[in-house]
Structures are given as C-alpha cells and as structure tokens.
Structure 1
Amino acid sequence: STFTLLFSSSWDKETIRLVQTVTQRETVLFIADARITFDSFRNCRIATATSKTIITLNPDTAEANQLYTCIRELLEAGGLDDQDILSGDSVRLDSISDVLTVNQLKARSHEHGDVFHCITYGFITNLELSSSMSKVIRKRCAKCKFLINEESQTCSNDACPNQGQQYQATEGFELLVDISDHTGTLHSCNLAGTVAEKTLGCKSKHKIFMTTLQWKFLLERCKIYLKVLPSTRRSRMRASILSCALADPVEVKQKLASFVA
C-alpha cells in the first residue's frame, strides 16, 4: 500500500545540510534504516532520521534512473503540475499578509527554494476568454487528473488505472493569465477550478459567452492572493491564483505607499 512519507525534524547537522541541498522534483533519494512511525497529528506515516539512517542523493542504480525518467515524463505531460493547479491550497487567505510587488516576488522565488504565499496589487493584463471552449474549459480524467484527449476522447495517461475502460471526466476552467504592476509582469499564472469560478462569477458548466467578463478585470487593479512555486534547474517559476477580486482604491493606496516612497 502507498502512504505519505515525511521527514520529521532532525537535529543532526549533516542530515539537515544534506536535505537543504535537495531540489524538489529534481532529486531521487535512497533512504536506508529510517524509523517509520504513524503520526496521528499528520494522519500519515512518517520517516525519522536516526544515527543509523543513510541518505543517498541520486544513486546510480537502474531503479533510481527508472524512477527519475518516469517522473520527468510525468512532469513534461503535466501530470504532477496539474495537482498543484487543481487541488487548491489549504492555507487560509487571512493568514497571508506579505504584500509584494511583481519584481519582489520574482526575486524571492529565485533566492529561496521554498513555496511561499503573498498578496500583490496588480492588473490582469492578459485574460484569454474569447478562445475556443476547449482552451478555456478542460476535461480531465476523474481518476488520475490527466487531460482527456479531445480527438480520441480517452485519458492521455498511459498508466491510468482506467486505461482501456470507459472514462469518467471532470471539467473546469483552466486559464493562464498575466499579472502586471509598476515593477514588471508575471506571466502565465494559473487561474483554475473553483477559484476561477469565484473570480469570473460563473461556473464552467454554464459555458456562457465570456468575452464581456474580460473587461471586468482587464486594466483594473486587483487584490490577488498567490501561491508561488519557485523555479528549479529545469522548470521556471510558477504561480497559482488563490483569490482575485477588484481592489479597494483606499487599501491599494495604503499598502503601496511604502513602495512608491
């Protein structure tokens, strides 16, 4: 059976230094002699490093190479990135307080390797709602979340558990938008799922003519909550919109005063 594997805090300096060098989705770990226990708080099994634990980064073995190749193929197909877009985020919006300009959040992403959340007051400068419905509303396999091939009407994931069977699909908004302010532009931010529905004020199943919705946001200052996934050696920085609404001019003036001064 599968289970979530986490490393609890370890005070071993060598282990801490080693883990800090790990690049998300770029590193294969071989872990030997870790203590496995069930954590009732996280509701999953966790692995704890002990004095006997040996951690090897990117071991040169056939199994490690196969695993790395498999993950790269999933990334290129969008199978893993999709989860970041579609699963939403459990963080409470009222717990996000950092206000950053576009250039500041770009700089933080390049300087630090961790996912972070922030608020930016910017303009949506690209919102393609006039495209064909297949580019705005996407169908995904209900089992593995991969895209449904429009031509064959089958799941695009060769390893899908439902491959060869009649598929069940879900559909929803999946948009890429650009966010700009006085410091620059953040390209191709993900606006998807229920966040897109709340932002646009309609559900994807309605399939209404949405050109008029563009002008609700284009060139209007918005208060945008973002989840930023930093860049790696093989992928660029990505951002998902957690909330987007027209901003209060008074609030914008107060929050951006320090940036203008």
Structure 2
Amino acid sequence: MNDNIVLQRVTLMHLEPTIFNALIVGVIIAKQDPRQFVDSKSSDPGTSRAVLNFTFRDSPQDFINVTYWGKSDAIFAIDENFHVGDVVELVRPQITIRKYNDKGEQFRPKVTSPYSLTMNDFSNILRHDGVNEVNYKNLLRLPTKPPGFVPIRDIHNGGLAVKDTYADILGAVAHVGNLRTVKLKNGGEASLIEIILFDQTNPGIRVTFWNREYIGRASSWQPRSTILFITDLNIDWSGYHKSVVAKFSNKSILTENPVGREAEKLAEYAKTAPLHAPNIIDQLTVNLPDVQMIQNVMSVQQIQNRINLGQESGTMQNLQFTALLYGVITQLDLDGFGRLFTKKCGHCKTLIKLIGKCENATCPVALNTALVEPEISFDIRVTISDHTGTLNDCRLSGKTAEMVLDCSIQEFLQMSDDDKARIKWKYLLERCAIRLIVFSANNQKPIISIQSCSIPDGEEVVQRIPVY
C-alpha cells in the first residue's frame, strides 16, 4: 500500500460511488475459478488478461460481489494466495451500482449490497491482521439466506421436472469421493469431486464440484460431522445414475457448519443416522413393517403387475408395497461363485470394492492413520418361482439372512462347502412362505427385499395360495 495516498476506511453499509480511495475490511465467503482471455486492446498481440470473481462480507447483513481484472500472472497469483475464509483488505476498488437486469448478475451469487466492486491494476488486495480478525471469521458460519432450504426428499420427488432449476440445500456430509479428472467436449481436461449430502428426509443427493477452491476444501469435510448449507445449487438429472443430482454453480455460496436451529438438529441426527454406500445411495428410506403383519398374499404375476403399473403410470418413485409369496426358491447359490456378502469400511461405512480397502479420501482408514476392521454382511441374490412366473434378483441380506440361514456371517465364512450346501438344500426347490417388501428409488429398477422365509405346512399353502 502506498503511504502517500490517504485511504478512507469504509464499511459495505456505507458505500457510495463517489468514494475513490476506499479501504474495506472483510472476509471472502465465496470464490470462482479465474478466467483467462486474450486482450484484444493490447498493442502486443497475444497478451492475455484474466478476471477473478469472489464474494466479500463484512457484517451479518452486508455482502457484495467483487470482480478483479488484471494481467493473467497477477490474477492467478491472487487466486493462489487468497481463499475462502481469508480476512482481507480491499484497497481502492471502484464502487458501482448494480444493474439488476445485467446478464452477469444471473451468474453471480445473490448479495445484499446494491453495489458491486471492481478492482484492477490500480487496486490491491492485502491480508488483514487486525485484532478484530476473529469477528470476521465468525461471519463464515452465518448463512447468506434465511431458512428456506428444500428437503432432499422433495428434490428427488421432482424427478425430471426439476432439471435446470436451482435450490438451497441444508445437508450433512455422508461421503466425499476421490478427486477425478475427466475429458471435456472441447478436448481439454478438468478435475471434479463428488460428495453425498443427506438430511432427515432422504439418505442422499450427489453434489458435484468443479471449482478448484471447493475441491480443496472438501478434503476437510467429515462424514456425519460436517453440515453444509449451499445456496443456488444447480439441480440436474443424471441419466447414468437415473436420479436427480446437483452441481455447485457460480451462483452458489457454501456455508460450513452454519449457525442455526435447523443445522443443530441435523447435526444431532447425523451422529447416528445410517450412512448408505454410494452405489445404493439413491434408494429411498423404507419404513419396514412388522414382518408378521405382512399377510397380503400375492403371486409372482400379481407382484409383477403391480410393478408394471408403477412403470406405466410414472409413479415408480412412490412404489412401495409388501407381499406374502408362497413360492419355490429356484436359485440360492451359497456354495458356488454367486455374490454372498458386501464389505464396508468399519469407520465411514463406504462400500469396499475389489481393491479391498476404503476409497473415501477423507477416511482415516483409507489414509492409513487408523485401523478399523471392515463390516461384512450378507447380500445374497435369490430367484423365486411359482405357477405364474419368476422373480429374479430378490435380495436376502443383513440380519434377515442370518435368521433365515440360522448362522451369523462370521460363522458362515468359517463353514465348509458341505455345510453351506446343507443350508442351501434346506430351501432350494422347496415351497416357502416368503414375506417381501418391494420398493423403488427415484424411478430406478425396483428392489425386492426378502424380510422372512420359512417352510409352511401343506394345508396353509393349499388354503392361501392364489389362483393367478
């Protein structure tokens, strides 16, 4: 800073376009990646310049968008040296009245100030080391919008209708993915990271970050512990995941562990809420009934008709029903090569894939800073048939599988093939009374989950088996 220039210390609340030598102290609360372009006005062909956009706050009520223009080297240096959470001094910014119909406003965070700040080669940004630094840091936990976020359940329920809309979300971190590099349509490459947020209404929504600033910050987010309030997330539809997803946009502002009653309630819920592995996160939470209360007898054909009706009417996202099926188990591969169990990280509950270790980039087990035994549970695929048809890929899993097979997963893993075969032939090709719950998540393929399986007496079968 040039000491020969008299600067006027001013707050955002008292900005005026006539102030030319302003010094404003505050904290950076949002930041976009810089953009580089060729300077067409330069006498030196090929000269490049760049622009950096960020959002700046100095009180609970006042925050403003800042645009910093300059030579590429200078702007990229500023981008490297200043980050969200830094308390800074803005020196000699140009103060202009915002044009609400300006196209640029559509791609910037919503702010409270009627002005915007423009900085250039005659401006400066400095780190602030004053005694009041902690007061500015505290602003980082104050949401930039009043409570009014959308429950994650409601976003999923919108399906394709919510594509290309924006929503505010309050969510707890369930999973932080690994940094990935993808090829763009223009031949270039870009990095991204995906996280999963959940709340009391739904086990999760995928949120993608392309912004380098937040990709870096994601490494500190902890499953169950970190609560995020994100404004103006871009809602999209993923054909790959067959579900609603979200993208952090240039309009978004992210508040970590925000202050507020709703955030406190979510943080308390997140401590004990079940975390779903990322590959099944799009399943809806199912309210499981008492198994013995499942008495509505259905045939395979009736179950399939119910599923087909949901597909044809477009109501699969709300599909959920129970059934008591008297069917023959025609496939139960306990002693062969079929899938029998899943393995999850004992710390963060992330599904462990073929490489045999946790892949959650923030998990201490994956970082080799903690040693926690993985959790193993049954996940068996079963085929059931009756006189009307066949149900493939029915799931016998978890504690239900242990009750049906009459052994724990640990006991099963120690068994010989002969012992496993004996358990298999107790049910294989036998007519069983099988209680099922059928549900779908976000219009995906329905899940048929076995809740109990037993061998009924012949009289019960004759009296209750349906004709079709």
TM superposition score normalised by structure 1: 0.66
Percent identity of equivalent pairs: 28
1:188 CA drift (Å)? 0.6
Query: What residue in structure 2 maps to residue 214 of structure 1?
Result: 424
Query: What residue in structure 1 maps to residue 452 of structure 2?
Result: 243
1:199 partner SS? helix
Q: 1:78 aligns with which of 260, 279, 290?
A: 279
Q: Deviations over 1:165-197 (max 9, x none)?
A: 444411121100101111111001110111111
1:143 CA drift (Å)? 4.0
More strand by percentage: 2
1:130 CA drift (Å)? 1.3
Query: What residue in structure 2 maps to residue 92 of structure 1?
Result: 290
Q: Deviations over 1:37-66 (max 9, x none)?
A: xxxxxxx978xxxxxxxxxxxxxx863239
**Closer, same or farther in 2 for the Cα pair 1:159/1:22, shift >3 Å?**
farther
Amino acid corresponding to residue 226 of structure 1 in structure 2: L
Query: What residue in structure 1 maps to residue 398 of structure 2?
Result: 193
Structure 2 Cα separation of the partners of residues 199 and 248 of structure 1? 17
**Closer, same or farther in 2 for the Cα pair 1:26/1:177, shift >3 Å?**
farther
1:137 maps to 2:346: no
Note the 1:1-261 alignment, pairs <5 A.
5=151, 22-23=158-159, 63-65=234-236, 68=245, 78-80=279-281, 90-112=288-310, 113=316, 114-131=319-336, 135-151=339-355, 153-157=356-360, 163-165=366-368, 166=370, 167-206=372-411, 207=413, 208-209=415-416, 210-230=420-440, 235-256=444-465, 258-259=466-467
Query: What residue in structure 2 maps to residue 11 of structure 1?
Result: none
**Closer, same or farther in 2 for the Cα pair 1:103/1:251, shift >3 Å?**
same
1:109 partner SS? helix
**Closer, same or farther in 2 for the Cα pair 1:63/1:231, shift >3 Å?**
closer
- The alignment yields a C-alpha RMSD, in angstroms, of 4.0
1:97 CA drift (Å)? 2.1
Query: What residue in structure 2 maps to residue 58 of structure 1?
Result: none
Amino acid corresponding to residue 180 of structure 1 in structure 2: S
Q: Deviations over 1:87-108 (max 9, x none)?
A: x863102222211101101111
Structure 1 Cα separation of the partners of residues 376 and 455 of structure 2? 26
1:155 partner SS? coil
Structure 1 Cα separation of the partners of residues 330 and 161 of structure 2? 32
Structure 2 Cα separation of the partners of residues 76 and 148 of structure 1? 9
2:467 partner SS? helix
2:304 partner SS? helix
> Rg larger in 1 or in 2?
2
1:177 partner SS? strand
Structure 1 Cα separation of the partners of residues 150 and 235 of structure 2? 19
1:117 CA drift (Å)? 1.0
Q: Does the Cα contact within 8 Å between 1:136 and 1:174 map onto a contact in 2?
A: yes
**Closer, same or farther in 2 for the Cα pair 1:64/1:31, shift >3 Å?**
closer
Amino acid corresponding to residue 64 of structure 1 in structure 2: I
Structure 1 Cα separation of the partners of residues 151 and 438 of structure 2? 23
Q: Deviations over 1:236-259 (max 9, x none)?
A: 222010111112211110002x51
Amino acid corresponding to residue 326 of structure 2 in structure 1: Y
Of the structure 1 ranges 156-165 and 204-213, higher mean CA displacement relative to structure 2 is found in 156-165
Structure 2 Cα separation of the partners of residues 161 and 26 of structure 1? 39
Q: Does the Cα contact within 8 Å between 1:224 and 1:243 map onto a contact in 2?
A: yes
More helix by percentage: 1
2:402 partner SS? helix
Structure 2 Cα separation of the partners of residues 169 and 117 of structure 1? 32
Q: How many residues align?
A: 212
Structure 2 Cα separation of the partners of residues 106 and 127 of structure 1? 21
Structure 2 Cα separation of the partners of residues 154 and 164 of structure 1? 10
1:121 CA drift (Å)? 0.5
Q: Any gaps of 5 or more consecutive residues in structure 2?
A: 1-140, 142-148, 169-198, 202-231, 239-243, 248-275, 311-315
Larger relative contact order (C-alpha < 8 A, sep ≥ 6)? 1
